Structure 1
Amino acid sequence: MQKRHNDIWFTEYQTRHLRLGLSITKVLANIQTPFQHLLVVETDEYGKLMALDGAIQVTEKDEFTYHEMLAHVVLTAHPNPRRVLIVGGGDGGSAREAVKHPSVEEVVLVDIDQEVINASRQFFPALSAGLEDPRVTVLTMDALEYVRGKKGEFDVVIVDSTDPVDFAEGLFREPFYRDVHRALNEEGLIAAQTESPFTDPDILTGSALEMKRVFPIVKVYWGAMPTYPTGMWTYLAGSKVHDPEELRSPLPGRTRYYSGRIHRASFVLPPFLEELLAERNE
């Protein structure tokens, strides 16, 4: 008879009928912040993992696919991005990518939860390195309130939000997009994550309709994100003037997923996704 074997798993219930499980070797943090439950664990397959309210936010192994696509598409579509606002993104990944662009002079990151920032600095140094760049200012406050008071100050806004529940729900609605439109200058662009078209098609299509009420140019693009629901992730790019499919500024420094070819290809939507968007626009 062999000895019995025990192991510990982290399981994310991505829908009522879909879950992702990862074996873990250590629990590094397990706290309730003023806004959400925060968990950091060491996994066998993906290295360190941070989850908020049970949803995976980052893992060491695959976070770059998400952060590079969220940040670089609109930053290279802008002819000269100098001032960048990041809404959310307390882990620092989007800031890390933004400062790879030589033209960027200032990044303002606004996240409501200081504990997320603290956990990233403690457990994810490759991510939080972006927060230490001298061009980056970190503010701990409600981003909805912050954006509401700005006018024509930013070239690019990157919405690196959690799922649209509780305090983050407003980040997917027309009033917020109107505030962002006001905060951007005349050539401004916005990028926002919009979930999986398989598990949350209503979030994608609803957000697209909300953004189209504000921005004259709105396009969907997508990329791989293995530990997010279904592994296929979508984004919205909104613009006042410039077509986000076109590259106008130099490519960033070293990347592992994003490239000029990936930029253009990401706007090529599979037929099912084109049909989904067309149906909801009727």
Structure 2
Amino acid sequence: MTGWPHMHVEMVGPGRTLLLKLRGPWAFDGEERFPTLGDMRARVQIGDFEELGRGLVINGTVQLTEVIDPVYTTALVFPPALLAGSRRRWLIVGGGDGATAREALRFRDTESVRLVDISRMVIERTQELIPSFWAECQRDLRLAIDPSDAGKVLEGMADRGEKVDILVYDLSDAGNEETNPFPESSADHLYTEEAFRVAARCVEPGGVFVAQLAELSPVRFGDHLRYREALKKVFRHVLSYRVFLEPFGYSESFVVASNHEGSFSHSPPEPVESRLARIYAGDCSAVYSSRWHEHLFALPPSIARRME
């Protein structure tokens, strides 16, 4: 495009391409290999987007930018935090950019957060180049950062009977030849029914599991439905929700699930504002409210019918 010497081009579907203007060359552009995953490789880029602020791109796909961080991260973290009976122990699978850990640590009853991300490069470079994602939470003594294969970590926890109150899947999307120059992803093995079963064994009976699960729209919904069906075989309660994110070019979807023996509704037992005032130490008034919470779970009828 004339006048755009620096740009990011991303396929978001078989018939859709996302074109984002960069203010200059990539601030960081590196490749990482994972010997424990058959020497799989990943490309990590960090750059300054014209409208979206500094952002992280993995394997050609935008993961998070400064502008969408508050929207995406609260959509991922707040619903499970509001629905869980306790937020004492967290396990974050992925989330190497630090934003999810930052928010988890702001809940008043949080005692420990374990972040397991195989990419040491993402962890180190975002701390250096996008410090707002971390907000210095890497110095919080309640946070343990583990640059390991999360699949192995989950299996070890399940075998030892270790459980957490909230388990967050904050992963890159699974590999997709239609939209990604890297047909394999380091997260592929974590999106299987078997992996979900292992994850469920790591969650307290009244705890909550949450995952981001690709696009959910009238155009593309197959991946979400497939993962949702796998989760329904593992968890008693499974609820879908979504939020539109401009840098993605589509509505990113999430699933919150639990094996709670009682009822499980997306609506917390008290108004969102008053509940957050009790359990959350930060200021979220600009990015979260009762109306926004309800909006996340208000799927269009055509999509809601597919859920059934």
Shift of residue 7 of structure 1? Answer: 2.3
> Kindly tell me: are residues 184 and 5 of structure 1, through their superposed partners in 2, closer, same or farther at Cα, counting changes over 3 Å?
closer
Q: Match for 2:196 among 177, 185, 206?
A: 177
Flag the 1:187–1:6 CA change in 2: closer, same or farther, 3 A. closer
TM-align CA RMSD? 1.8
* 1:267 and 2:300 are equivalent in the alignment: no
Identical amino acids, percent of aligned pairs? 24
Count of aligned pairs between the two proteins: 274
Contact 2:85 2:207 in 1 (8 A): no
Structure 2: distance between partners of 1:5 and 1:184: 51
Amino acid at match of 2:56: M
Contact 2:30 2:45 (8 Å CA) reproduced: yes
Residue 266 of structure 2 corresponds to 245
Structure 1 contact 79–248 (Cα < 8 Å) conserved? no
Secondary structure of the residue that 1:40 maps to in structure 2?
Answer: strand
Q: Is the 8 A contact 1:237 1:244 kept in 2?
A: no
Per the alignment, residue 180 of structure 2 pairs with none
Distance in 2 separating the partners of 1:192 and 1:244: 17
Uncovered stretches (5+) of structure 2, i.e. residues with no partner: 34-40, 176-184
Question: Helix, strand or coil: the match of 1:203?
Answer: helix
Give the residue type in structure 2 aligned to 1:116.
V
In the other structure, the counterpart of 2:62 is: 56
Q: How far did residue 114 of structure 1 move?
A: 0.2
- Please name the residue that 1:141 is paired with: 148
The counterpart of 1:67, out of the listed 67, 73, 83, is 73
Question: What's the counterpart of residue 204 of structure 1?
Answer: 224
Alignment of 1:38-117 (within 5 A): 38-117=44-123
Distance 1:78 1:170, change over 3 A: same
* 1:265 shift after superposition: 3.1
How many angstroms does 1:77 deviate by? 0.5
Please give the secondary structure, in 1, of the residue aligned with 2:106: coil
Instruction: Please list every run of at least 4 consecutive aligned residues from structure 1 whose deviation after the TM superposition is greater than 4 angstroms.
Output: none
Instruction: Name 1:21's counterpart in structure 2.
Output: 19
Q: Mind listing any 5+ residue stretches in structure 1 that lack a counterpart?
A: none
TM-score, reference length from structure 1: 0.91
Cα shift at 1:276: 2.5
Q: For 2:144 and 2:265, locate their aligned partners in 1 and report how far apart those are by CA, in whole Å.
A: 26
Q: Which amino acid aligns with 2:246?
A: P
Q: Decide whether aligned partners of structure 1 residues 6 and 183 sit closer, same or farther in structure 2, where only a CA change above 3 A counts.
A: closer
- Tell me what 1:33 maps to: 32
- Match of 2:23, SS state, is strand
Task: Indicate how the Cα distance of structure 1 residues 63 and 273 shifts in structure 2: closer, same or farther if over 3 A, else same.
Answer: same
Measured after TM superposition, the shift of residue 70 of structure 1 is: 0.5
1:245-276 CA deviation, whole Å, 9 max, x = no partner?
A: 13258313322422233223322211121123
